Amino acid sequence: MKDFNNKVAVITGGGSGLGKALAEAAVKRGMKVVLADVNAKALEQTLEALRAQGADVIGEVLDVTAAAAVAALAERTQQHFGPANLVFNNAGVASAGLIWESSDQDWDWLLAVNVKGVANGLRAFTPQMLAAAKGDADYQGCIVNTASLAGVLTGPAMGVYSVSKHAVMAMSECLYHDLSLLTNQVTAAVLSPSYVFVASRFVRFL
Ligand SMILES: NC(=O)c1ccc[n+]([C@@H]2O[C@H](COP(=O)([O-])OP(=O)(O)OC[C@H]3O[C@@H](n4cnc5c(N)ncnc54)[C@H](O)[C@@H]3O)[C@@H](O)[C@H]2O)c1
């Protein structure tokens, strides 16, 4: 996609960190933006800051682990702005610790947010993007999942996180392959950041 002006970007985890930075970059390029975040206060502050810059942006407080809420976000996006062009499945959480000491709760939490949250995003948005492509030869869309360098390499004391991000890498590659069977108007990409310093950190130590 070369022209972003007036296109629609959806960003989960858009209230802070990389999601907020993605929102700012999208707004700078003239995109209409839909932000979703579980943290209502962070979301509101980011929406206010973007609107102060004249951005056309809406927000939804939701938990990406809730499939119905993510499906409703896709519906709201379609109703308000039309089909999404860029969907950033960016919301993610981390934990640190020895892998055999990671609790049942840690496994459930990280896999739910980092893996199922991304699956919910692609399940909710891919059909609307494929439909848009079918109806408009000029339409282009891309689903961008945030993995991590920890989705490619492994290191000490971040086992559960690394497992979850390897899953995001595999899910993104599978999405790319599956989409390429159907169309060249909708595709998938994956972000694999190394350590990025952002204003708010969400690392839960054991
Ligand atoms: N910062 C880094 O160094 C780094 C490196 C590699 C990958 N990543 C990945 O980048 C993504 C963004 O991370 P960040 O560093 O900006 O973190 P962050 O904590 O600053 O931002 C994450 C945002 O996601 C939201 N969020 C968390 N759980 C959610 C849920 N269940 N539903 C909806 N929103 C939820 C949080 O409220 C927060 O606003 C994550 O997927 C993370 O794993 C970050």
pLDDT tens, residue by residue, 20-37: 999 999 999 999 999 999
Check pocket membership of 41 for ligand 1, CB cut-off 6 A.
Answer: no
Check pocket membership of 167 for ligand 1, CB cut-off 6 A.
Answer: no
**CB under 8 Å to 132, separation ≥6 — which residues?**
82, 83, 139, 141
Amino acid in the structure at residue 122: L
The parent domain of residue 119 ranges over: 8-205
Task: Return the CATH number at 63.
Answer: 3.40.50.720
- Measured from the CA of 202, which atom of ligand 1 is nearest? 19
Give catalytic residues, as residue numbers. Answer: 161
Q: Find, among 163, 164, 170, the residue nearest to 190 by Cα.
A: 170
Q: 71-124 pLDDT, tens per residue?
A: 999 999 999 999 999 999 999 999 999 999 999 999 999 999 999 999 999 999
Check pocket membership of 143 for ligand 1, CB cut-off 6 A.
Answer: no
Q: Is residue 2 part of a domain?
A: no
Q: Is residue 109 part of a domain?
A: yes
User: Per-residue pLDDT averaged across 174-180, rounded?
Assistant: 98
Q: Is residue 166 part of a domain?
A: yes
Provide the sign of the torsion angle of the four alpha carbons 118, 4, 59, 82, taken in this order: negative
Q: Whose CA is nearest to atom 30 of ligand 1?
A: 63
Check pocket membership of 14 for ligand 1, CB cut-off 6 A.
Answer: no
Ligand 1 centre to CA of 50 (Å) is 19
Q: How far apart are CA 41 and CA 43, in angstroms?
A: 5
DSSP string, 65-98: T-HHHHHHHHHHHHHHHSS-SEEEE----EEEB-
Q: How far apart are CA 104 and CA 167, in angstroms?
A: 18
Q: Is residue 1 part of a domain?
A: no
**Residue 196 reports pLDDT greater than 90:** no
- Measured from the CA of 113, which atom of ligand 1 is nearest? 31
Check pocket membership of 89 for ligand 1, CB cut-off 6 A.
Answer: no
State the chain's mean pLDDT as an integer: 95
Q: Is residue 24 part of a domain?
A: yes
The domain total for the chain is 1
The pair of structure tokens assigned to 49 is 């800051």
User: Per-residue pLDDT averaged across 184-188, rounded?
Assistant: 98
User: Per-residue pLDDT averaged across 137-145, rounded?
Assistant: 98
Q: Is residue 137 part of a domain?
A: yes
Beta strand segments in 79-183, E? 86-89, 94-96, 141-146
- Measured from the CA of 15, which atom of ligand 1 is nearest? 39
The pair of structure tokens assigned to 84 is 């999404």
